[in-house]
Amino acid sequence: MHNTSILQANKNKILPLGWPEHILYHLDRFGVRSYKVLILKVEFGEAEKLYMPTDHPVFQLMPQDFDIQIMIVYEEIGQLRVTTQSFWQIYLQLQDALAGSKDLRESLASQEEWEIRICHEHMDLENSVRESDEDGNGEEEEEEDVNVMQEVEDL
């Protein structure tokens, strides 16, 4: 089942007119309310420990060699404070410094090979079909899953 209705503009939705950056820094001029939630750094640290464990696989996506090289270059340029104003300049400095690095190219090539191997792994849908059968909606979903798998295999 798909939603085929045509999207319509919400006539009751009132948006401030102006450049987003101006609106962000001058809320009072545009009649905008700030819903910012202020928390203490201690509370933020506790939330990080609870919901962002450093050993989670998402934090291991950058190759270790690249991490070492980028930290060396970042120290060389003076470990500048990254802000919305300084981000682009820091990025360009890092890019210039790493542009000719042979070690970096080798590291990224090995990472690309690893990603290609992951792309070709097959994940079975049998468990999801069985779980949906228990919910009582399985017959329709099972037929859809079979059709989808058939289409994928035909590619």
**Nearest CA to 73 among 103, 91, 94?**
94
Q: Which amino acid is at 133?
A: D
pLDDT of residue 56: 82
Per-residue b or e along 128-144, where b marks 16 or more CB atoms closer than 10 Å to that residue's CB: ebeebeeeeebeebbee
Each residue's pLDDT tens digit in the chain (155 positions)?
Answer: 778 888 888 888 777 788 888 888 888 888 887 788 888 999 989 999 898 888 888 887 777 778 888 888 889 888 888 898 899 999 999 888 888 777 777 766 666 666 665 555 555 555 544 554 455 554 444 455 555 445 445 44
Q: Is the CA virtual torsion 71, 76, 81, 83 positive or negative?
A: negative
pLDDT of residue 43: 92
Q: Is the CA virtual torsion 111, 112, 114, 119 positive or negative?
A: positive
pTM above 0.85, yes or no: no
Q: Is the CA virtual torsion 71, 77, 79, 82 positive or negative?
A: negative
pLDDT of residue 155: 47
Q: Is 130 helix (H, G, I), strand (E, B) or coil?
A: helix
**Nearest CA to 74 among 86, 84, 59?**
86
Angle CA(143)–CA(148)–CA(149) in degrees, nearest 5?
Answer: 100
pLDDT of residue 106: 72
pLDDT of residue 46: 92
